[in-house]
Amino acid sequence: MINDEYFLAALRLAAGNDPIPGHVSAAARDAYRLRVPGAVTADPTDLGAAGGVRDDEGCHLVRFVVAGLTFDLEITIGDGLIDVAGHVAPYPGEGALIDVRTPHLTLTRRIAGSGDFAATGLPPGWLSVVCHRPGHKPVQTRWVRIRP
């Protein structure tokens, strides 16, 4: 019969000897780089399953809300790439910028006085939008997966 204390000690010793696999460390570093320090996260609202709906023409409509800011995103897929037409309300002010992000690409856009912005030619997969407003914390949407 194995004593519990000896068993736990053996587990602690074994855990200290096994290196973390390289792919696990690389994935952790990649995920860490996707964060936006100090950002407030906007949550999807109830527009259907997973916070969005897909219309008859293949447009994916998603709305994200956080106190004081709403993101409306219309996402279309054509020729295997994603196009995003978005609207931020209320208008976040002069000098505000939008980052439309994938894990491997970020497109930065100015926000029109109407609150509109657009980004085209993104790869399908994970997508997030970050609004940078002068004098405020950044606001980011949750990551959503867009599939053709």
Give the pLDDT score at 49. Answer: 44
Q: List, in order of start, the domains of the chain with CATH numbers.
A: 38-146 (2.60.40.10)
Give the pLDDT score at 118. Answer: 97
Stretch (H or E) spanning 10: helix 4-17
* Measured distance CA(86)–CA(144) in Å, rounded: 15
Give the pLDDT score at 130. Answer: 97
pTM of the predicted protein model: 0.77
Residues 6+ apart with CB under 8 A from 129: 64, 71, 73, 84, 86, 98, 99, 100, 101, 140, 141
pLDDT digits (tens, 9 = 90+) for 19-41: 677 887 788 888 888 889 899 99
